[in-house]
Amino acid sequence: MQQKWQQATQVIHAGHQKDATGALVSPLYQSATFTFDNVEQGSACFAGEQQGYIYTRLGNPTTAELERKLAILEGSAAAAATASGMAAVSAALLTHLCYGDHLVAAKAVYGCTFALMTTQLNKFGIETTLVDFNDIDAIKRAIKPNTKVLFCETPVNPHLDVYDLTAIAHIAKLHHLVSIVDNTFMTPLLQQPISLGIDMVVHSATKYLNGHGDVIAGMVCGSEEVITKLKTEILKDIGAVLSPHDAWLILRGLKTLDVRLARHCDNAQVIAEYLDKHPQISRVYYPGLSHHSGHHLIGSQMRRAGGVVAFELDSHFDGAVAFVNRLKLFTIAVSLGDAESLIQHPASMTHSPYSCEERLAAGISDSLLRISVGLEAVEDILDDLRQALEGG
């Protein structure tokens, strides 16, 4: 039944189990540990002979409801909630990679994912090759006998490049690799990688899934076998599990995901088109624009283009900084997927540790700006952009 519902219904009802009190909203089980009636029951729970909660690092009823809901939404057999998006990325990778293994990932990935792969995993003898995932042959060429995993996110910063997930899943199957996709920018409502043949999905639930800017969280979706291994071998010992309170907040946030995303996408389309026509803007990157390289995958791989828009001002570093400082409605902040429209200037913020050459090589020019389009009235967002552009 729950699998057959439309996703707009699933975000509200899927995974919910009526409790003894009949509470409309599932109670928050804010408890670190769970009690046993006698030693025999405790022993049976530890042995897995009897179902039951033991200790929240191993499982919790509130977190379990979130996991059931997300698995249904992504179309996976199971899901695990984690303490952050980075905990989801690292748990997914550590479930599949050991000393001596090799990983092929997209050159453009979330900054901390890049650092995890090139710095942390490297310390433990796991090697990463980064390639342009727009180039399918480059992915094939990077595969070695010890390659175990293909990893990417799509659409991806800084230019919202869209990678062909069907082609990537195909290569993974051909070479017996595990394919993992970070679906944070899309959520399962706009893109379901598993339906395209991808093995695992990871999320920063901090972004659209929670949607209210008040939680750091992650999710991993995959097969029953892999998620069980991830929970019982990796998360149990590394310990980056989600707090039940945060799981409860995400369950609340998820109920409005469908209506929120519709507004995020509607607003982002209007804003991208406005910026695209503006003489002071040299380039707009948004898959919803017909000139974007990923536009042809809208309607097939991804339902809509999402809520993140990047653009370059026809200006220098200082001009971009002054423009951002003139904005009044926009909030200057990293992150995305919140009700508030957010803007960040990568050259002076997220990518300031890079040298100028490294930044330009990564496609981040001095005047590149990224906005996470919020849920405000689109006229007010446009007015703010207009006044900041005219004020220059």
Ligand X SMILES: *Cc1c(COP(=O)(O)O)cnc(C)c1O
Known catalytic membership, residue 57 = yes
271 binds ligand X (CB under 6 A): no
Verify binding: residue 276, ligand X, rule CB under 6 A.
Answer: no
Find the shortest distance in angstroms from Cβ 206 to ligand X: 4
- Measure the CA–CA gap between 154 and 164, rounded to whole angstroms: 9
110 catalytically annotated: yes
Contact flag: residue 163 with ligand X (CB under 6 A): no
Under rule CB under 6 A, residue 153 binds ligand X: yes
Q: Find the binder of ligand X among 7, 10, 63, 184 (CB under 6 A).
A: 184
Is 68 catalytic? The answer is no
Rounded least distance, CB 255 to ligand X, Å:
20
What residues from 61 to 100 belong to the interface with ligand X (CB under 6 A)? 84-86
The answer to whether the CB of 160 falls within 8 A of the CB of 292 is yes
How many amino acids of this chain bind ligand X (CB under 6 A)?
12
Closest to ligand X by CB, 86 vs 227, is: 86
Q: Which of 110, 285, 286, 330 binds ligand X (CB under 6 A)?
A: 110
Smaller CB separation from ligand X, 244 or 306? 306
Rounded least distance, CB 280 to ligand X, Å: 28
The reply on whether position 216 binds ligand X by CB under 6 A is yes
Of residues 110 and 286, the one with the C-beta less far from ligand X: 110
Question: In the bound complex, what is the minimum distance in angstroms from residue 151's beta carbon to ligand X?
Answer: 11
- The residue ranges that bind ligand X (CB under 6 A) are 84-86, 110, 153, 182, 184, 204, 206-207, 216, 218
The catalytic site residues sit at: 57, 110, 182, 207
